[in-house]
């Protein structure tokens, strides 16, 4: 791992107009190494990616964050993207450091009413993110084409499912049952869980890490939301949905879209963890198998 002096040199090259007074490592993040730098222009966060080291990924992150900022979403300000720094042999992202604790760091210390307040804030801010419209579903013109391409790719990267044809057909059928007039591409964050929200005075103040943001069906974000937040705190889902629907009204078939989001999330996570944390991949494969076994007809409730 680069040491503090290396990061100092990186900053000197990337931002020659500022003076660095101190640097210290930050024990945070799962996909990057991070440092806090005190400078004459404020406190900065320096991130050196460890997994996806393609600089195009960082440029996409910065662009998505700026779009969110332009629509009033509370986000951090990025300073520089270094495509390749020789001292770290890869890209570097430099951004303002935003004060506050992550929601994950404080969650266990909060009472139920305060957690509900955060869920209400979450519903409002994510509803506003999902109100940002796109023109295509990623690289596809329709949701059907987008899901077809995605599922085909994912299934070529795993041998965990005994009947890939049945799974593929079930997902295709679930998409076909959706109201096409409600299939509008919107910005989705792509990584909604407690570590990606900053909290101050028991309110959400910032949404972090738009690195997986894209334009697709907005309910794709509900896969990770439900797994990491509302499966563990079901009392917060109703207040979340109430605030969310105020910011971005729900279509009639929203429950079926959430159901589809759950299986696509499980399939995506299964393939992802096969590479990065293989011990977690089987649990997501089982979720996919459970979805296929029961069929995609289940109707969700506001607290499910």
User: pLDDT of 248-281, one tens digit each?
Assistant: 999 999 999 999 999 999 999 999 999 999 999 9
* 301 in a structural domain: no
Report how far residue 41's alpha carbon sits from residue 134's, in angstroms, rounded to the nearest whole number: 35
Q: What does the pLDDT read at residue 304?
A: 37
Report whether pLDDT(162) > 50.
yes
Q: Read off the pLDDT band of 299 (50, 70, 90).
A: very low
What pLDDT was estimated at residue 217?
Answer: 98
Range of the domain at 131: 101-294
User: Has residue 299 been placed in a domain?
Assistant: no
Claim to verify: residue 213 and residue 144 sit in the same structural domain: yes
What does the pLDDT read at residue 300? 39
125-155: per-residue pLDDT in tens?
999 999 999 999 999 999 999 999 999 999 9
Residues 69 and 127 grouped into a single domain: no
Q: Are residues 114 and 255 in the same domain?
A: yes
84: in domain: yes
Helix count and strand count (H, E) for the chain: 10, 10
My answer on whether 105 and 63 are in the same domain is: no
Q: Does residue 207 sit within a domain?
A: yes
Hey, what are 250's tokens?
Answer: 């729900």
Residues 90 and 107 in one domain: no
Q: Which helix (H) or strand (E) holds 223?
A: helix 221-225
Q: Residue 74 falls within a domain, yes or no?
A: yes
pLDDT bucket at 301, cuts 50 / 70 / 90: very low
CATH of the domain at 56: 3.30.200.20
Listed residues 63, 96, 129: the one ending a domain: 96
CA distance 18 to 42: 9
| Torsions phi, psi for 175 (to 5 deg) | -65, -40
Q: What does the pLDDT average to over 37-63?
A: 93
User: What's the pTM?
Assistant: 0.91
Mean pLDDT, residues 11-16:
94
Q: Is residue 121 part of a domain?
A: yes
Same domain? For 234 and 268 the reply is: yes
In this prediction, residue 296 carries a pLDDT of 58
The total number of structural domains that make up the chain: 2
CATH of the domain at 189: 3.90.1200.10
230-254: average pLDDT: 97
Tell me if 26 is assigned to some domain: yes
pLDDT at 297: 53
pLDDT one-digit tens code per residue, 181-192: 999 999 999 999
In a domain, 30, yes or no: yes
Q: What is the pLDDT of residues 17-33, one digit of tens each?
A: 999 999 999 887 678 89
The verdict on 46 and 181 lying in the same domain is no
Please indicate, yes or no, whether residues 262 and 144 belong to a single structural domain of this protein. yes
User: What pLDDT does residue 52 have?
Assistant: 83
For the segment 79-91, the average pLDDT, to the nearest whole number, is 95
Question: How much is the pLDDT for 151?
Answer: 98
Q: Are residues 253 and 127 in the same domain?
A: yes
The residue count of the chain comes to 304
Residues 240 and 147 in one domain: yes
Q: Are residues 107 and 91 in the same domain?
A: no
Average pLDDT over residues 225-239: 97
Strand pairing of 20-26 and 203-207? unpaired
- The residue out of 96, 118, 151 marking a domain boundary is 96
**Same domain flag for 24 and 65:** yes
Question: Which of 96, 116, 145 is the last residue before a domain boundary?
Answer: 96
pLDDT confidence of residue 2: 84
């Amino acid at each position: 791992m680069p040491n503090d002096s290396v990061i100092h040199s990186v900053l000197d090259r990337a931002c020659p107009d500022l003076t660095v007074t101190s640097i210290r490592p930050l024990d945070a993040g799962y996909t990057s190494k991070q440092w806090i730098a005190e400078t004459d222009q404020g406190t900065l966060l320096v991130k050196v990616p460890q997994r996806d080291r393609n600089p195009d990924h960082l440029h996409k992150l910065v662009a998505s964050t700026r779009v969110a900022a332009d629509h009033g979403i509370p986000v951090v300000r990025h300073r520089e993207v270094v495509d390749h720094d020789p001292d770290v042999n890869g890209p570097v992202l430099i951004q303002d450091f935003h004060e506050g604790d992550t929601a994950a760091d404080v969650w266990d210390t909060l009472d139920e009413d305060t957690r509900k307040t955060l869920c209400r804030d979450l519903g409002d801010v994510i509803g506003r993110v999902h109100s940002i419209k796109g023109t295509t579903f990623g690289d596809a013109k329709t949701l059907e084409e987008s899901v077809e391409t995605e599922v085909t790719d994912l299934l070529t990267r795993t041998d965990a499912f005994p009947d890939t044809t049945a799974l593929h057909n079930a997902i295709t059928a679930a998409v076909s049952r959706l109201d096409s007039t409600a299939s509008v591409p919107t910005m989705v964050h792509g990584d909604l869980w407690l570590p990606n929200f900053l909290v101050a005075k028991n309110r959400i103040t910032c949404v972090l890490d738009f690195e997986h943001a894209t334009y697709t069906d907005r309910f794709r974000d509900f896969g990770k939301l439900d797994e990491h937040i509302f499966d563990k705190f079901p009392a917060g889902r109703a207040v979340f949905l109430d605030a969310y629907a105020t910011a971005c009204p729900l279509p009639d078939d929203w429950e079926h879209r959430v159901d589809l989001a759950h299986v696509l999330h499980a399939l995506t996570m299964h393939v992802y963890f096969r590479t990065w944390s293989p011990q977690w991949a089987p649990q997501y494969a089982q979720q996919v198998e459970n979805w296929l076994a029961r069929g995609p007809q289940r109707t969700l409730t506001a607290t499910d």
